[in-house]
Structure 1
Amino acid sequence: HPETAHTCCGITMQYSRAWLRMHLPSGRVLYYAAPRVDEHGALSYMGTHPMTRKWTRITTYGGKLVENITQAVSRDVLAACMPAIEAAGYQIVLTVHDEIITEADDRPSFNAAHLAALMATPPPWAQGLPLAAEGFQTHRYRKQ
């Protein structure tokens, strides 16, 4: 029903004014334009087609929405730890998905274990979220 909000596991979903909004625990909102459920129960929304890059109706399903939520919350957790990482003296030079690549002085106080501990600290809006991180030191970027 329009204007009705439903909350589950910290995610609030609301349909109103031609938008499906998913409010994430971080406060960020995912928007799906012109959502529609057809006569067969299939969910679709308007968006950019991944291949043609044209604005079109995209069919989706619950699992894909859960994937979008998971990736968005993961990004928000990563973004939330970045100020503490920089405040600790690490210079963030790049992020790749769930990785943070930093440069730091070559001193014992700057090490992968310390950086991993900073990354594994849940933000205030995600207290109790089990987080873990690991890392390594190298002179050039590479996948571990």
Structure 2
Amino acid sequence: MQAHEIMVRHVYKVKEQDTIRSVLEKFIDHGISGLPVVNDRNEIVAFISDGDIMRFIGKHKDLVVDTFYFVNVVKGDEDEFEDRVQKILDLNVMSIAKKKVHKVNWDEECENFAALLGEKQIKKLPVERNGVLVGIISRGDVIRNSFKGLL
């Protein structure tokens, strides 16, 4: 079984110039927990998850954030939770999204991306064809398709 056979073709995504506000709206409106970030050519440039947002709004003393996107969280910053929640809304998505994205090619075999999902402890994998986002595969997609008809 290959990735294109089980991937979800309608992928919610955000553009690299979008804000965290637009990410959160998609999370809430569609009941999802992660989104690929794409450029204007629909190439995958990053991935943002609910975990990335939790790391930002949770209590922290040290936070490494990409200053290119105008974020300045200083070591020892002890903002209140509500302040951190408010601050994150207008941040650029690229300031906290993961730039090293695990992804699979559309013709990748299931055993390979199942191993990647398990070993890297990630929930979703963007699928690309010719360098362009074409789908997404979740752990649930692998389970449903791998065991269909066996139980």
The structure number with the bigger radius of gyration is 1
More helix per residue: 1 or 2? 2
When the two structures are superposed, what TM-score results if normalisation uses the length of structure 1? 0.26
When the two structures are superposed, what TM-score results if normalisation uses the length of structure 2? 0.25
| Higher RCO, Cα 8 Å, sep 6+ | 2
More strand per residue: 1 or 2? 1
